[in-house]
Every structure is written in C-alpha cells, then in structure tokens.
Amino acid sequence: MASWKVVLEPVDETKIEYTSFANARKYFAVDASGSTVGIRLISEHIFAEGIHEASLQKEKNTVTRWGSKCKDPTNWEQMFWAPDQGGTTPQWILRNRSSMDAIHNADIWFLLTDGEVPDSEVHTLAGLGQEMGVFDCATVFVIASHMKYAPNHANVSRKQEFQRQLISISARSGTSAHHIKQPTLVDLDTLLRAGVTSDEDRDLILADEALDALILACKSRGKINELRSFLLAHKIEQLTIKLKDVSGAADLIAQIANSDVSGETKTVLQSKLRDAHEANQRAYVTAQNDGQLQSIRDRNRRIDTALRTLSEAEKSGFSAEILSRRSNRARRAENVSADSSIDVSVLDLEAPGYRGECEVCCGDDEILSITLKVLSADAMAANTDNFALDFPLAAGRFEANMNVVSSQCICFQCALFGRPGYSIYGEKISAVIPTLEYTDSNKLYLHQQLYKALNAGLKTGVPAMGQLFSAILDCTLRRKVWAGAGIQEGSMDAEVRQRRNAMNWLLQSILTHLRVRETFAEPGQ
C-alpha cells in the first residue's frame, strides 16, 4: 500500500467515553476586532450566549476576546463584550498560554469571527494548530456577519484550513478497492512528495469528488504549487500523431514542379503521388487507433482538466463559491478557452467535407484546403486588442485580414507536404485549413491553426475566432476576383469556381455549427 495512505487502528468501542453536548466543557474565542463593531459582535454574543445557556456545566465554560492579541480566558460573568482588540490575528489564540490551556481543558471549543481574516493568517493559524495539536479537541468555527452578499460569498470554506493533516478522499470507480465502505485517508504532505503513483491510485485521486477535496485541502493549506507539481509529474510526454509523409509525397511533388518533366512522366508521377497520399492517410488512421497511445492521450487529458480546475481554485478567494460547481456559463467559458494541445492528430479525415480536383496530384475527389499567408506582428496584435475581441466581425474587415487568404486551392495533403512554409505561388504561409465539416475534433484543429495564423498563438476563444475567420472568408468572397467576386456564375473558369465553392462551403459549415450568444445579455444557459 502507498505510504501516503493511512489505515486507522481499529477502535475498541468499549473504551470510548461519550460526552453529551450539554455536558461538554466549552471554550469560546470571540472575535472582538474593530471590524466586528455593531451587528457582528451582537451576533457572536447571541450565538455564544445560547450555547452557554444550554450547558449543564456552565461554571466550566470559559470565554475570551481576541484581535491583535488574545486576552486571558475568563468565566462568563466577567466577560466584557466590546470590539476593542484592534486587528484580526487569530494566531494569538494559540500563542496565549492560558488560551491553550483552556482549549486542552475543554471538550469542544468555538472560534467565532466575522470572517475578515487575511489569507496569510488563515495559513498561519492552520500550521500552528496542527503543530500544537489543538484540533484534537472538537473545534467549531462560526462566522457571524450581516447578509450584504448572497450566502455563496460567505467565508465558510476556511474551515477546511483547520482540518487535520490527514484528509479523506473517496471516489466512485469500477475497481473493487474503491467500493470499500471506509474512504481512503491521505497524509497530504506524504502524498505531495510521493511522485508518480500507480494507475489505480491516480484514477482514485483524479475522480471528481476526490480531486475537489484534494484541491480544497491544498488551497486552504497554501500547497497549491506542490499539488501542481504533483499533477504535472503524472503527465506523459505525448507522442503527437501527425499526418506525416511516410510515402515520399514531398519528393514526388518536387519532381512534378520541375518544368523539365515531360507530360507523360508528370502523369506517372501524379498517379504515384495519389497513391502516396492514400498510404499516408492509412498510416495516420492506424496510428490514431493505437490503444496505448489512446490511453496516454486520455491520461494527459485528465491531468490537463485537473490542472485547469486547480488554476480556477488558485484564483478564487476563501468564499463558499469554491465549494460549489461552476455555473453553466463559467463551464462554457472554460471550454472555449481551455489551454489544451490540439494538433493534426485530432483530424477526422473521414468526416464530411468539400472535395474537388487538385491541380498538383490531379486527384478528382480530394479534400481541398484553404491556405493563410503570414501576417505581420502588428496585424496579429490588432486581432487581439479589445476592439477585435469585442467586435470580431468588424475586425475581420481589417485591411491586413483582407489579404491573409492565399488563392492557392489544392488538396490538403499536397498543401501540407509541398514546399515547407510556402504556397505553390511562393507566398509565405502560416496555416493550412482542410475543407472538413466544422464539428468535433476538426473544429479544434481549425481553431488551433487560426490561433497561430491570426493571433500569434493566443487562444482568445472559439466564438470570437470563429466570427473573425467567418468575416475574413466572407470579405474575401466579396472582394477578391480570384475568389469569383463580381463574376457571373456562367463566366467563371473551373479553377475560380472550385476555389469559390470550397471557401463558401467552409464558411457555411462554420456559420451552421458555430455557437455564439444570441444577445449580449444572454445568461449563458
């Protein structure tokens, strides 16, 4: 069993002494800092008074005031209820020897506060409490405040900070080990130092319920960075499956481009090139279906999801919001901006797409491509400024964006394996977009290419990028003669017609499948 898993010794029920709540000796540490003036201190007083009056051993109850310091505990009758203790530094409750004695002599102790406690003080109090063993005594934290905000903003999650160093995680899984009635107890420090765990333990840790508990525990203990390192250690350097030229297509394209090649030889080379394209695609599909690689991708995808959840928790404060699931709108926002690695490996080349004749390999039923030229740094910066992000349809009409689409319209593989970094016209290119249906993994690939070509790699979100590229395609179709702008249908030559049809097909696919808000006030459901 992993060293970070803790098995508690069986308890002899006959030796357990039970104490009723009414009979329990109680110690109240009341926040009397300046911020409690008014209703907050009154609320603390009412709560403590009610608990005290319900006690059967009132003479054994003690109470103190704390703030910048901590007063020595006193009995109930001598307690002076006034917000006169300055700042909010709860660590002094544990640094006062008399207060520590009161905790050890009590059966249960209450720490009352208005919740206005700095994060650093929360961490310090937790560390001291664990070091001094004060949480072996039953501990209750009470936050008293007025309802200025909704309950999900109350600082209740700080209670997690003071749990013992052993935390409990449980998960629903198909393995029998995860169906035991007693959840797994974890020594947090030992776990974070453990390095890579077994597959079974990793699945246990990455289960939703367990991961939530682990992140919350690390957040409250100031161990977010340690948890991030722990998760990163479980990632495997993924072998990215790319559509590679394993059949010599690039060499054949270079030979076809040679002006000295005879027509008969060129025809033979084009036939070989089409065969090479088919062989490349078969090799790609075979690699995609490799079970071990799929397992690695799934593992890394789960780690990436955990890291994004961790990042969200890191940015959140100590409020009840951290305990709950995000809203539908927040989930959607994360989905469109998630920083995951999408490469050509996600392409589904068997998906519906626009097919036509390629002037390089002379295939007559090939997935075509749209090629984007290299933009200047200033043009890419303009695509990511506030105006472009707020009004992507308008940004698509920037002058630089009007010239980003190349007139090259050849099949996807010829565009991919031709002269590296250049179109057949000698233009520097930044992206090759296949005319595949704008759905599922193909959508992710398209956006990955668009981020690199138009935004210098910045992931600004699917709706904005989809609208930007749609506007670029629309304006290209309206303005460029080589895309059929201003030419009657009957007057177009075959090359212009195919180019226009390919661009229009992709534009319509994007417009059909792109999801954006109906209005700026749409709540995101």
Do residues 64 and 124 share a domain?
yes
In a domain, 8, yes or no: no
Q: What is the average pLDDT score of the chain?
A: 81
Tokens linked to 275 = 């065969």
Q: 357 to each of 38, 376, 447, 478, 498, how far by Cα in Å?
A: 80, 32, 25, 23, 8
The total domain count for the chain is: 3
Do residues 201 and 121 share a domain?
no
pLDDT interval class at 272 (50, 70, 90): very high
- What b/e readout covers 80-112, taking b as 16+ CB neighbours within 10 angstroms? eeebebeebbbbbbbebeebbebbeebbbbbbb
**Type of residue numbered 248:** G
Do residues 421 and 347 share a domain?
yes
Mean pLDDT of 112-124: 82
Q: Of 234, 260, 275, at which residue does a domain stop?
A: 234
**Type of residue numbered 464:** A
> Which is more confidently placed, 332 or 350?
350
Do residues 276 and 221 share a domain?
no
Mean pLDDT of 403-424: 93
pLDDT of residue 516: 74
In a domain, 340, yes or no: yes
In a domain, 139, yes or no: yes
Do residues 67 and 133 share a domain?
yes
Q: 119-128, 178-187, 391-400, 471-480 — which is least confidently predicted?
A: 178-187
Cα 204 versus chain centre, distance: 19
Do residues 419 and 501 share a domain?
yes
- Of 220, 213, 237, 221, the residue nearest 303 (C-alpha): 237
Which stretch of DSSP H or E encloses residue 307?
helix 291-315
Over the stretch 150-209, which tens digit does the pLDDT of each residue have? 544 554 444 344 444 444 544 333 333 444 445 567 788 888 888 888 888 888 888 877
Over the stretch 203-257, which tens digit does the pLDDT of each residue have? 888 887 788 888 888 887 778 889 989 898 888 765 667 788 889 999 999 899 8
Do residues 457 and 357 share a domain?
yes
Do residues 35 and 145 share a domain?
yes
Report helix, strand or coil for 428: strand
pLDDT of residue 325: 40
Over the stretch 65-100, which tens digit does the pLDDT of each residue have? 999 999 999 999 999 999 988 888 999 999 999 999
Q: To which residue do tokens 């790319």 refer?
A: 242
pLDDT of residue 170: 44
pLDDT of residue 521: 46
371, pLDDT greater than 90: yes
pLDDT of residue 279: 92
In a domain, 471, yes or no: yes
Do residues 303 and 198 share a domain?
no
Mean pLDDT of 438-447: 86
In a domain, 273, yes or no: yes
Do the Cβ atoms of 424 and 408 come closer than 8 Å? yes
In a domain, 18, yes or no: no
Measured over the CA atoms of residue 503, residue 506, residue 509 and residue 514, the dihedral's sign is negative
Do the Cβ atoms of 440 and 372 come closer than 8 Å? no
Crossing angle (nearest 10°) for helices 208-220 and 224-232 = 140
Q: Which domain holds residue 357?
A: 249-315+334-513
In a domain, 239, yes or no: no
pLDDT of residue 189: 84
Percent of the chain whose pLDDT exceeds 70:
81
Question: Exposed/middle/buried for 177, CB within 10 Å: 0-12, 13-18, 19+?
Answer: exposed
Do residues 441 and 499 share a domain?
yes
Q: What are phi and psi of 6, to 5 degrees?
A: -120, 130
pLDDT of residue 423: 94
Distance, in Å, from the CA atom of 180 to the CA atom of 367, rounded to the nearest integer, reads 53
Do residues 412 and 366 share a domain?
yes
In a domain, 329, yes or no: no
Cα 351 versus chain centre, distance: 28
pLDDT interval class at 308 (50, 70, 90): confident
- Of 120, 199, 126, the residue nearest 165 (C-alpha): 126
Do residues 258 and 289 share a domain?
yes
